Amino acid sequence: MGWWRRTVLPAVAAVVATTVLAACGNGGGLRVEGPESPPPATPTPSVALGTSTVTPRPEKTPEVAVDLYKVRSRLLADRRLSSYDRTVLSNCTVISRCLSRGKTVDVLHSGKPQQIVLIHTLDKFVFGIFLIALEPSGPRPIWNLNVEQPTVNASPGGDLVVESKIFTINDPVCCPSGRRVEVYRWNGRQMTKVSSTDQ
């Protein structure tokens, strides 16, 4: 009987201990330290302190709120202003009746926004555009174009694209049916026309 206690009982105890440890190794009771898989070779997007480390998208030109009363004053002080534009702005005391903001662009490639300002009649018929640089000293006129009912955008390359209405041979006075697309580029000193297409 003594040999049984010395030989069999330790063997049974070893089997029971191995079984218990194996049962705990399924995650229910055995804690394993360290990573379950090797760390990635390259960083992945994550969130830290409430901010994402995902690569940001390219920023678009920020919107600005240029003071149109100051724009009007600067335009009237410009000797290059056309006589028709000067007449409209001189008689315009309610600014929303003659000037409105278009898109914000950066066609000067300065990193600072420029404001497109539209000049129009009381019934919102647009007949011209101004490119206004926004500077600490106030708005500064850079360039203007007299066109009817324009749509103005910046191209992906940073050019200014102006689409306007033009009259064709049989159009009534009210309703131009043609379309002109002009592209202007800043050459470091002034805006120059690089293309014009009638459609």
Position 170 pLDDT exceeds 70: yes
How many domains is the chain built from?
1
Q: What is the pLDDT of residue 34?
A: 42
Looking at the domain assignment, is residue 58 inside a domain? no
Hey, which residues does 180 pair with through a beta bridge? Answer: 164, 198
pTM greater than 0.85: no
Q: What is the pLDDT of residue 1?
A: 52
At 93, give phi and psi (nearest 5°): -100, -25
Looking at the domain assignment, is residue 55 inside a domain? no
Q: Which of 110, 173, 175, 180 is nearest to 145 (CA)?
A: 180
Domain residues for 158? 68-198
Looking at the domain assignment, is residue 134 inside a domain? yes
Looking at the domain assignment, is residue 156 inside a domain? yes
Position 17 pLDDT exceeds 90: no
Looking at the domain assignment, is residue 146 inside a domain? yes
Looking at the domain assignment, is residue 32 inside a domain? no
Give the pLDDT confidence of 42-99 residue by residue, as tens digits.
443 433 344 444 444 445 555 667 899 999 999 999 999 999 999 999 999 899 999 9
